[in-house]
A and B are shown apart, each in its own frame.
Chain A
Amino acid sequence: MQIARVIGTVVSTIKNTELDGRKLLVIQSLDSNLRRVGKPLVAVDSVGAGVGELVFWCRGKEASFPFEGGLVPTDCTIVGIVDSPQHVTNPAPT
């Protein structure tokens, strides 16, 4: 899993039927200092996240598990909303 910031939304009418009614968000992954790392991705939301929020997401087949039946084709699902940036405790480098 990785921490990310929700930076936008994606609208898609023609899509896999298992994605019907699912919210698609653009996320930017962050490192432990909340600096951008990697490129933006499209994620399926499973927790009611919105633009601007700090979240964490899951990759791989496991990304479909939050959804009933586990049949949603996704490799990137938002599985939690971080309470605030202060709730990311980053141990000082040793």
Chain B
Amino acid sequence: MILARVIGNVVATQKNVRYQNARIMLVQPINPDGSTRGATLLALDSVDAGEGDIVIVVQEGWSASTAATGEQGAAIDSAIIGVVDEIDVGST
């Protein structure tokens, strides 16, 4: 999984049927120290995350589909599966 910060969301009226009632969030991957890395991506929310939250994003189809929709087989490859309270990476 990767760490990311929720920076917004996307509204789409016309979308795949399995995305009904889903919250499509725009997330920015980050390093454990909070610095940004790489390009933003879309992930379906499964834990009621909000803008500004640091979250855990799973990037694997079965996990993302079951977490976000409750069933496998949806065309979803990323989902937010946790809201981070604290990251401790010591001095490394």
Contact = CB atoms under 8 A, between A and B. Distances in A.
Interface string B55-84: 010111111101100000000000101111
Contact of A16 (B31, B32, B81, B90): B81
B22 interface: no
Interface string B1-45: 111000000000000000000000000000110000110000000
A8 B63 contact: no
Nearest to B83: A14
Contact of A39 (B37, B56, B82, B92): B37
A40 B31 contact: yes
A76 interface: yes
Interface residues of B, number: 32
Nearest to A64: B63
Nearest to A72: B63
A12 B31 contact: no
7 closest Cβ pairs, A-B complex: A8-B89, A15-B82, A73-B63, A75-B60, A12-B82, A42-B1, A11-B86
Interface of B: 1-3, 31-32, 37-38, 46-48, 56, 58-64, 66-67, 79, 81-90, 92
29 contacts: A7-B92, A8-B32, A8-B88, A10-B86, A11-B87, A12-B82, A14-B82, A14-B83, A15-B56, A15-B82, A16-B81, A19-B81, A39-B38, A40-B3, A40-B31, A40-B89, A42-B1, A51-B90, A61-B60, A63-B60, A64-B63, A71-B66, A72-B63, A73-B60, A73-B67, A73-B79, A74-B1, A75-B58, A76-B1
